[in-house]
Amino acid sequence: MKQIYTKTGDDGTTSLRNGVRVAKDDPRINANGQIDQLNAHLGIVRSMIKDDEANAQIICAVPRELMIIMSHIATPEGTTNPRELHCDSLVPQLEGAIDSTPHEGGFVIPGGGSTLAAFIHLARTQTRTVERCLWALSRDYPLDKSILRLMNRLSDYLFVLANEKE
């Protein structure tokens, strides 16, 4: 088994793609940490939503795309990332799911219905945190606009899905 710890981060740095070292509080590392947390929340949702095939497919596709997004964020400037983004194909899927689900607007108090809905709301709020983090990051490190569009639509989708599962 490969050794888990390297001790290279003991000085407060970590690696981007291609071994470029940056501070552990670099905004790119922070953004990826927020996305990692979102992926963990979506993992809980995915484990609970298996009986809903259409939404399960989306909830499985999004974390894979988030991993690709993380690799793009961790790619140093002036370096090309070989992993292709699929955000532009996911956004219409999210919009289709939103449009086909009856929903009312307005604020809701999470946890009033099912545990699944409460976890979806948790993923939704983390998606908004990721979105804010990525907009801040994009001021210094330009991001593909499709990433920002995906995050905005994902939070809308999760809102509608949570309300459906209440």
H or E element that contains 22: strand 21-23
The answer to whether 98 touches 54, Cβ cutoff 8 Å, is: no
pLDDT tens digits, one per residue of 17-29: 888 899 999 999 9
At 63, list the tokens. 């974390």
**pLDDT of 3 above 90:** no
Q: How far apart are CA 102 and CA 114, in angstroms?
A: 18
What burial class does residue 142 get, using C-beta atoms within 10 Å of its C-beta: 0-12 exposed, 13-18 middle, 19+ buried?
exposed
Which domains can be identified in the chain, with CATH numbers?
A: 18-165 (1.20.1200.10)
Question: Which residues is 52 bridged to in the sheet?
Answer: none
pLDDT of residue 26: 94
pLDDT of residue 133: 97
pTM as predicted:
0.91
Which residues make Cβ contacts (< 8 Å) with residue 53, sequence separation at least 6?
none
At 75, list the tokens. 């790619």
Higher pLDDT, 91 or 9: 91
What burial class does residue 71 get, using C-beta atoms within 10 Å of its C-beta: 0-12 exposed, 13-18 middle, 19+ buried?
middle
**pLDDT of 107 above 70:** no
Mean pLDDT of 118-145: 97
